[in-house]
Amino acid sequence: MIYSLCFVLIAIGLYGVVVKKNIVKIVISLAIMEYGVNLFLILLGYRFKGEPPIMDQAADASLFVANAVDPLPQALVLTSIVISLGVLALMVALCIRLYERYGTFDITEMRRLKG
């Protein structure tokens, strides 16, 4: 059930990217979309009332596997958050430069390229 929340987030993001005219809002929509995917990845490995995935010497291996949260998606999400940070920084820089050139954030007024 909780998975559908991620898809709502992704859908909201995609809607924003497609429909919004303000480039800053497009950037925000993209960020929302990425959060939705990250949340989905985390939920994939999550186990309610699970243990943290740190094994000590005393722990029983089979019991640990049965109870612990899957650590791999967490590692993946960390990487993907860093990547989306890079993209976000680049896009914000592009927005600033675009505003300097065109004097507007409205994408419908940036129409030098066509054909």
Partner 1 sequence: MIPLFVAIPLGMAFIIPMVSRKLTRAPDVLGNATMVCLTALALASIGRTGIYHMGGWETPIGIDLRLDGLSVLLLIAVNVVGLAATLFSVDYMRLYTSKFRYYSLFLFMVAGMNGVVLTGDMFNLFVFMEIASISSYALVAFGCEHEELEAAFKYTVLGSVASTFVLLAIAFMYGMTGTLNMAHVATKIASEGMSTPLMFALSLFLCGFGLKAALVPFHAWLPDAHPAAPAPISAMLSGVLIKAIGVYVLARLLFNVFGITDNLLQLLRWAGVLSMVVGGLLAIGQWDIKRLFAYSSISQVGYIVLGLGLGTPLGLVGGLYHLVNHSIFKSLLFLNAGAVEYATGERDMRKLGGLNKVMPLTGGTSLVGSMAIAGIPPFNGFWSKLIIVLACVQSGHYALAVTAVVMSLVTLSFQLKVQRYVFFGSVRAGLDRLQQIPGLMAAPMLILAVLCVGMAFLIITGMDTPLLIAPAADALAGGFFTL
The CA angle 53-57-58, to the nearest 5 degrees, is 95
Among 30, 32, 36, CA closest to 7: 36
Nearest-10 crossing angle of helices 23-45, 2-19: 160
Query: Cα torsion at 9, 13, 16, 22 (round to 10°)?
Result: 120
Convert residues 12-51 into a mask of x (bound to partner 1 by CB under 8 A) and - (unbound).
Answer: -xx--x-----x--x---x--xx--x--xx--x-------
Provide, rounded to whole angstroms, the least separation between the CB of residue 79 and partner 1: 6
**Segment contacting partner 1 (CB under 8 A): 48-56, 58-66, 79-87?**
79-87
Binding site for partner 1 (CB under 8 A): 10, 13-14, 17, 23, 26, 30, 33-34, 37, 40-41, 44, 72-73, 76, 79-80, 83, 86-87, 90-91, 94-95, 97-98, 101-102, 110, 112-113, 115
